[in-house]
Amino acid sequence: MTTLVQRLVFDQARGEVRDQDRRYLLMRPDVLMGTLRQLDDGTRSEVLAAFADSTAIHGTHSIIAYLSTLEADGEDGARALLSLIRETSPALGWGRWAFAPVEDGLALTVAAGYGPATQPVCAPIAGMFRTVAGVVLGNAVAVEETACAAMGDHDECRFIARRCSQGVAA
Ligand SMILES: [Zn+2]
């Protein structure tokens, strides 16, 4: 299978960047993060939660498309999907992702930095991880960011996805 970097089409006639039928938008991260910084803490929290939910919902489209290209299922399929995400995320500028199994869940470490912030600004990563971990673990999961590089104390952001006991996404 071709890598995302090979598949991305920069269609200047239409003014679009696409991976097959999935359109992407290139944006400077300081524009996005600068928008968030202009909001008060309460509003920013709401926007970040919506950002995470939207990424989880719309990211499913990409995950389903990726899964259909993998010639593996079960545990092999899960490993292949994680390997694909590990390759795709840096290609999209979302940092370098590393997965590790944890008891009843999955851990994700992301090496990327957004600069100083008053709270974790990694909502879209958490949303995408919610979708990926849900597929890999075969169960709805809740994702928590346990350490954030944007908060200044860590070099990396760390996320944990754990199965929801009710099987309902949190
Ligand atoms: Zn973070």
- Per DSSP, the chain holds a count of helices (H) and strands (E) of 5, 7
What separation in Å is there between the alpha carbon of 15 and the centre of ligand 1? 31
**What does the alpha-carbon distance between residue 129 and residue 53 come to, in Å, rounded to a whole number?**
11
Query: Mean pLDDT across the chain, nearest whole number?
Result: 87
Phi, psi at 65, each rounded to 5°: -65, -40
Helix or strand or coil: residue 13? coil
In this prediction, residue 122 carries a pLDDT of 86
Kindly state the tokens that stand for 162: 């754990």
What separation in Å is there between the alpha carbon of 10 and the centre of ligand 1? 29
Kindly state the tokens that stand for 27: 């944006």
The pLDDT-based confidence of 101 (bands split at 50, 70, 90) is: very high
What separation in Å is there between the alpha carbon of 113 and the centre of ligand 1? 8
* CB-based neighbours (< 5 A) of ligand 1, an ion: 120, 122, 148, 150, 157
What separation in Å is there between the alpha carbon of 14 and the centre of ligand 1? 34
- Least trusted range by pLDDT, from 85-89, 90-94, 112-116: 112-116
Tell me the pLDDT tens digit for each residue of 25-70.
998 878 888 888 899 999 999 999 999 999 999 988 888 888 888 8
Tell me the pLDDT tens digit for each residue of 125-139.
999 999 999 999 999
| CB contact at 8 A, 139 and 163 | yes
